[in-house]
């Protein structure tokens, strides 16, 4: 039994990827769930409009962070601030009394804002002048339904699963079976191979996205208020990035187990926890928040929720579109480069920097030499 224990420890030490996952995964969960993320944001972005904007700004709770003020603005200006994602709460002064608009598409932020507003209404009557009654209106998700907020993000998680995990497994399976080695002797360019690999998974992911959205809209009653064209363009860019990540993972994995480990540890888990799907980005501490801006799901969440819930046009969404395009360009270029190094013809010495095709080529040449020697011996014998 002791020999088996020693053997398992040695095998575990040699499998560095599994060992790293067993150590890094608990630490990552501990840091994110115990330290970095909070369910309620520490600050709530607020826009203030109307003639008494300056006075209302002074009366707001400390958790409210005023990001824009317009003394000449009205309800339409305040609603545009919420629709374009510049603020989560808008306060409109003037008239019979102040009114408050709350963005219900930011669920946890909206709940924190309502709690703070209730405390404000409770403490103000103790002042020398009575506080006017606040008229609070929740926009874009009046019932504060969690499904309205989660399903647009879950559509992105489905695309991450198909684009990253399934794609990497499919390519690695071909490497293990030796199919990719045959591509080294075919007249195919690396980008042709890359596109040929990702197009079938792109079609499957698009069908899965349509199924998720259809069920979300028909069964859960999730609204779709925006443009299908804008949403489709965002999904196209996002899927392009995830497919590139899947192919890139497959080029550094020797088997399907390694591909699953890398996909889960480097893409799935960080994107679910740090993309704003579960926790608001404003609640993540700055030391960890920068990771969220490297994750494509962060930007797809902004596009999906903005288009589906707030009818947000493409203009205010230029930042997530731009970042997805940049991420896609970088990742796809890396994936094509990896494929080029794998499919490149072997040099005259029969050695290849990477891949097994070079080994296969050496085996063919060795057999040819051996066969030639045998033929010479046979000829010499006949002579």
What confidence tens digit (pLDDT) does each residue in 60-83 have? 888 899 999 998 888 999 999 999
* Residue whose C-alpha is closest to residue 251's, from 182, 305, 197: 197
Residues 6+ apart with CB under 8 A from 362: 346, 350, 351
- Tell me if 89 sits within 8 A of 22, measured CB to CB: no
Report the distance separating Cα 365 and Cα 376, nearest Å: 17
The pLDDT-based confidence of 378 (bands split at 50, 70, 90) is: very low
Mean pLDDT rounded to a whole number for the chain: 79
Torsions phi, psi of 270, nearest 5?
A: -60, -35
| DSSP 8-state assignment for residue 125 | G
Residue written as tokens 């369910």?
39
Torsions phi, psi of 103, nearest 5?
A: -80, 105
3-state secondary structure of 313: coil
pLDDT tens readout for residues 265-322: 778 888 888 888 888 887 777 777 888 899 999 999 999 999 999 999 999 999 999 9
Question: Of 189-193, 221-225, 271-275, 282-286, where does mean pLDDT reach its minimum?
Answer: 189-193
pLDDT tens readout for residues 80-119: 999 998 999 999 988 777 899 999 999 989 998 998 888 7
Torsions phi, psi of 6, nearest 5?
A: -60, -40
């Amino acid at each position: 039994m002791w020999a088996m224990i020693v053997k398992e420890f040695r095998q575990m030490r040699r499998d560095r990827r599994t060992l790293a996952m067993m150590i890094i995964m608990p630490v990552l969960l501990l840091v994110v769930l115990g330290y970095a993320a909070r369910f309620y944001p520490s600050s709530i972005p607020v826009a203030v409009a109307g003639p008494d904007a300056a006075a209302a700004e002074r009366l707001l709770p400390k958790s409210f962070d005023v990001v824009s003020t317009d003394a000449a603005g009205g309800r339409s200006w305040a609603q545009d601030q919420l629709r374009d994602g510049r603020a989560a709460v808008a306060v409109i002064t003037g008239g019979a009394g102040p009114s408050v608009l709350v963005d219900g598409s930011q669920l946890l932020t909206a709940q924190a804002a309502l709690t703070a507003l209730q405390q404000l209404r409770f403490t103000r009557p103790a002042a020398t002048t009575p506080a006017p009654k606040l008229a609070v209106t929740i926009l874009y998700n009046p019932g504060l339904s969690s499904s309205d907020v989660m399903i647009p993000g879950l559509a992105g998680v489905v695309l991450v699963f198909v684009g990253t995990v399934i794609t990497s497994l499919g390519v690695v399976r071909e490497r293990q079976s030796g199919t990719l080695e045959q591509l080294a002797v075919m007249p195919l360019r690396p980008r042709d191979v890359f596109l040929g690999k990702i197009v079938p998974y792109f079609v499957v992911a698009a069908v899965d996205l349509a199924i998720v959205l259809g069920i979300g809209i028909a069964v859960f009653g999730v609204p779709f208020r925006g443009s299908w064209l804008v949403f489709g363009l965002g999904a196209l860019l996002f899927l392009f990035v995830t497919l590139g990540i899947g192919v890139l993972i497959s080029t550094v994995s020797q088997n399907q187990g390694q591909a699953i480990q890398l996909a889960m540890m480097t893409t799935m888990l960080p994107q679910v926890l740090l993309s704003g799907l579960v926790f608001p980005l404003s609640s993540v501490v700055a030391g960890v928040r920068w990771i969220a801006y490297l994750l494509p799901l962060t930007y797809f969440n902004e596009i999906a929720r903005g288009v589906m819930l707030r009818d947000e046009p493409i203009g205010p969404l230029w930042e997530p579109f731009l970042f997805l395009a940049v991420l896609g360009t970088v990742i796809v270029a890396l994936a094509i480069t990896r494929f080029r190094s794998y499919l490149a013809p072997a040099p005259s010495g029969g050695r290849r920097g990477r891949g097994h095709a070079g080994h296969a080529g050496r085996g063919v040449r060795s057999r040819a030499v051996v066969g030639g020697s045998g033929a010479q011996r046979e000829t010499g014998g006949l002579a």
